[in-house]
Amino acid sequence: MKIEIKHRITGRVLFSLETESLKLCVEAAVRSIADLGGAYLRDADLRDADLRDAYLGGAYLRGAKNINKLRCTPLMILLDQPGKIRAYKLVKGNGEGPYNGGIIYEIGKSYSVEDADCTDEQCAAGINLATLDWCMRYWQSGYRILVAEFTAKDIASIPVSTDGKFRCHRCKIVAEKDLKEIGLIEEKEARDA
């Protein structure tokens, strides 16, 4: 039978194969270096699937079974870091998160969300932090990128195959990235801001 792996939003076919299972189709896609970013893999049984080197950023894996997060989630490295760790928080000009808001983040202050969602949901309750490249990808004019500090025990969730986001129970905002220095704005824009 022909199995298709489709993008979770657009429905575009990312990979297809004549095979007997979705697991075999996913493994073949990974071997062929197919970009499975945004793939819809809900409820897939991926037990023992070799997902090494798979790009699954933004893939919809809710309910997928038997996924070894260590094979497809590079950010799992955060859990082994001793001491303080730094990551980034994308915020609007006023310091509020751009998506769900609620907290106004300020440099030098600590924040805590005790009921942070510990599931593998990509976006859920908690202090959502990210890699710098993720923040730069979703940055818009007027946004800021803050530097957050936390420890491994503060992490609430690193979702399976995250595209760079994860959640913490608590963190401290310690700095702000210079947008000109990282190439998001030109010198003229920096003077006008």
Q: What is the pLDDT of residues 82-129, one digit of tens each?
A: 999 999 999 999 999 998 878 999 999 999 998 999 988 878 899 999
Same domain, yes or no: 96 and 64: no
Residue found by looking up tokens 């939003």 in the block:
9
Q: Round to the nearest angstrom and report the end-to-end CA distance of the chain.
A: 57
Same domain, yes or no: 24 and 101: no
How sure is the predictor about 73, in pLDDT bands with cuts at 50, 70 and 90? Answer: confident
Sign of the torsion angle spanned by Cα atoms 171, 173, 174, 179? positive
Give the end of a domain, one of 72, 102, 117: 72
Same domain, yes or no: 118 and 63: no
- The reply to whether the predicted model has a pTM over 0.85 is no
State the pLDDT at residue 188. Answer: 57
Same domain, yes or no: 86 and 164: yes
Give the phi and the psi of residue 192 in degrees, each rounded to 5: -75, -20
Same domain, yes or no: 15 and 104: no
State the pLDDT at residue 69. Answer: 78
Q: In the chain, pLDDT over 90 holds for what percent of residues?
A: 56
CB atoms near residue 46 (< 10 Å): 22
Classify residue 87 as exposed, middle or buried by CB count within 10 Å of its CB (0-12, 13-18, 19+).
buried
Q: Name beta bridge partners: 165.
A: 130
Instruction: Collapse the DSSP code of 167 into the 3-class scheme (helix H, G, I; strand E, B; otherwise coil) and give the result.
Output: strand
For the residues 23-52, what does the mean pLDDT come to? 82
Residue found by looking up tokens 């690193």 in the block:
158
Query: 66 and 44 in contact (C-beta within 8 Å)?
Result: no
Give the end of a domain, one of 15, 39, 72: 72
State the pLDDT at residue 108. Answer: 98
Same domain, yes or no: 126 and 172: yes
Same domain, yes or no: 66 and 79: no
Spell out the residues 6+ positions from residue 11 whose beta carbon is closer than 8 angstroms to its own. none
Which is higher by pLDDT, 31 or 13?
A: 13
- How far apart are alpha carbons 22 and 149 in whole angstroms? 40
Q: Which of 89, 74, 35, 80 is nearest to 161 (CA)?
A: 74
Same domain, yes or no: 59 and 89: no
Residue 43's domain comprises 2-72
Same domain, yes or no: 110 and 178: yes
Domain count for the chain, please give it.
2
Same domain, yes or no: 96 and 138: yes
Per residue in 47-67, pLDDT (tens digit) is 777 776 677 766 777 667 777
Same domain, yes or no: 170 and 183: yes
Same domain, yes or no: 150 and 124: yes
